[in-house]
Structure 1
Amino acid sequence: MMRRAWVVAATLLLASPALANCVPPWQTQFACAIPERDARAEFCRIAEPAQHPGKKDAYYTYVVGTQPAELYFETDSTWFSTKDTDVDHPTDLTMALGYARGDYVYAFVVTQDKRLDARIR
């Protein structure tokens, strides 16, 4: 019975593509499953960069299934933006955070939607 419980627990953990795999000292800032592609995107960042000289502040990775990462890069250039829309508009607050690589910024956006009882989407 105990062995079965461990197998079930391991299967559930391994089958969840939204779990981030950030390598210490980096920590998960955001991780997102993309079910249509059996993929995940992960944004990993060092909380105290000054304590880890020689390491980049953050890294981004995009992985499909169990394949090696299609895209991986480290960066010291992170961007942050917020937006507050008009009063009485259904999407009220938006926050975006991105990691820069060359001429591109890979970002995630979080929006509070009043139509969904002010939940985050």
Structure 2
Amino acid sequence: MVVFNSTTGKAEVWFDDNWFSTAGRVQIATLDGVTSGQVAALTAADFVLYDSSFPAGVAGSPINLGLTDPTADQTDTITVTLAGVASDWIVNGGTDLGDGSWLVSFGDNVEADERS
């Protein structure tokens, strides 16, 4: 699930296999540079659905974050920070900031993958 946290002004990606209990909720990532309007505009078509027997993604396969360019200029570069990335993961095409955060410029081909 992707939500916009109005307190922090950032979008958040959450996983939970049982939304009736908060015990299993895990925040996967915090997305800087994503607006509440972008989050509100997301539809089911913006996400990749995996079989429930798989984790959030399959090593070596891209994870679709469903982000769109919020500007009218389709040639500009959008930069976001992904925070809370697991230490054994890399973001291909991103810059590791060394604290579990990655700086990513969209317009590039960016994928997340588990470290070998």
TM > 0.5 fold call? no
TM-score, normalised on structure 2? 0.29
TM-score, normalised on structure 1? 0.28
Higher relative contact order, structure no. (Cα contacts within 8 Å, ≥ 6 residues apart) = 2
| CA radius of gyration, larger in | 1
Higher strand share: 1
